[in-house]
């Protein structure tokens, strides 16, 4: 038996990585691949929770809202009071044009009358460049190489921000939630600022190509009898000064293409020193309410 001991040790060493990988792939205790989103140790995939719900209940709604985390603060009741449509808010972090197209394809079976899209000139992009697994709107397609890439990202990237499901369902800022649970506010705020790039708010990610693809998607929806509403979120004040021509040029094209327009950025801007440079949610929320009380910029359908 003694002579077999080294081989048993070697076998155990070789088998351990395979067992750990297989366990995580099948059981998925961290909800990276297919586990329940409320069990996720990293940012839960809100897209899956929301799209699953809407796919099952789309008959109750006239359409949906989609956009970045800024658009998450939009109350569907406000829009219903103005336009008469009952909509469900599918917004999630980033909310790219590509994802809007994926949602449009995903809900082909749904009786959609209107789609609202929140336009962020400092966030709107074509592709899904980070966390591809978390950018998927549905469970279909999880078992592919993107899943392995995302797992590698989770295991190697030091700037990952842990989150809990309760932070999303309660609407509480993650930093304050961490402060109560772990007492690490200072560290988390520093890490949060590093992660979201607060020091480069003027970096323009909005491109004419993204605007072109968004307008093309709008025309496709309109050909199928779907009205499209655009909601322009506020931008950085210094970005407005630096990128004014680009923003206004593309904005005019998008306004011309849409059926309904709510312009939250018409007379507003957000100062660079705003403390929450990811969302400005506490500032945007009352702005949304004030604008929606006065109705859209225009509504071609009426």
Pair (57, 11) in one structural domain: no
Q: Which region holds residue 194: left if phi is over 0, alpha if psi is between -120 and 50, else beta?
A: alpha
Check whether 59 has a pLDDT greater than 90.
Answer: yes
Looking at the 3D structure of the chain, how many domains does it have? Answer: 2
Pair (26, 43) in one structural domain: no
Pair (23, 82) in one structural domain: no
Residues 135-169: tens digit of each pLDDT: 555 555 444 555 566 566 556 654 444 444 444 44
Pair (15, 94) in one structural domain: no
pLDDT confidence of residue 67:
87
Check whether 272 has a pLDDT greater than 50.
Answer: no
Residues 39-57: tens digit of each pLDDT: 555 555 667 778 888 988 9
Print the domain residue range for 264. Answer: 39-299
CA Rg, the chain, in Å?
Answer: 22
Pair (194, 228) in one structural domain: yes
Check whether 226 has a pLDDT greater than 90.
Answer: yes
- Residues 252-277: what's their mean pLDDT? 68
Question: 205 or 299, which is more confident?
Answer: 299
Most confident segment among 6-10, 72-76, 116-120, 266-270: 116-120
Pair (193, 56) in one structural domain: yes
- The backbone torsions φ and ψ at residue 228, rounded to the nearest 5 degrees and listed phi first, read -125, 125
- Residues 246-259: what's their mean pLDDT? 84
Pair (206, 249) in one structural domain: yes
Pair (8, 89) in one structural domain: no
Pair (123, 16) in one structural domain: no
Supply the angle between the helices 97-106 and 46-57 in degrees, to the nearest 10. 30
pLDDT confidence of residue 229:
93
Pair (76, 45) in one structural domain: yes
Pair (190, 272) in one structural domain: yes
Question: 190 or 154, which is more confident?
Answer: 154
């Amino acid at each position: 038996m003694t002579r077999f001991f080294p081989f048993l040790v070697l076998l155990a060493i070789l088998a351990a990585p395979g067992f750990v990988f297989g366990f995580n792939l099948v059981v998925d205790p961290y909800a990276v691949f297919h586990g329940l989103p409320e069990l996720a140790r990293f940012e839960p995939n809100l897209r899956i929770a929301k799209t699953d719900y809407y796919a099952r209940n789309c008959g109750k709604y006239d359409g949906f809202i989609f956009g970045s985390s800024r658009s998450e603060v939009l109350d569907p009741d406000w829009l219903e009071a103005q336009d008469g449509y009952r909509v469900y808010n599918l917004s999630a972090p980033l909310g790219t044009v590509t994802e809007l197209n994926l949602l449009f394809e995903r809900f082909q079976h749904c009786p959609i009358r209107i789609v609202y899209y929140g336009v962020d000139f400092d966030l709107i992009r074509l592709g899904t460049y980070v966390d591809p697994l978390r950018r998927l709107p549905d469970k279909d397609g999880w078992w592919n190489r993107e899943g392995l890439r995302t797992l590698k990202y989770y295991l190697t990237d030091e700037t990952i921000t842990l989150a809990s499901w309760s932070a999303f369902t309660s609407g509480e800022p993650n930093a304050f939630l961490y402060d109560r649970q772990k007492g690490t506010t200072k560290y988390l705020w520093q890490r949060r600022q590093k992660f979201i790039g607060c020091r480069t708010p003027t970096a323009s990610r909005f491109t004419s190509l993204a605007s072109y693809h968004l307008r093309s998607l709008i025309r496709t929806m309109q050909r199928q009898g779907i009205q499209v509403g655009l909601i322009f979120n506020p931008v950085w004040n210094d970005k407005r000064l630096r990128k004014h021509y680009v923003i206004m040029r593309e904005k005019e094209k998008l306004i011309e293409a849409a059926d309904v327009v709510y312009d939250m950025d018409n007379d507003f801007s957000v100062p660079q020193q705003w403390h929450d440079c990811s969302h400005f949610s506490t500032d945007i929320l009352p702005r949304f309410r004030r604008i929606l009380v006065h109705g859209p910029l225009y509504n071609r359908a009426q």
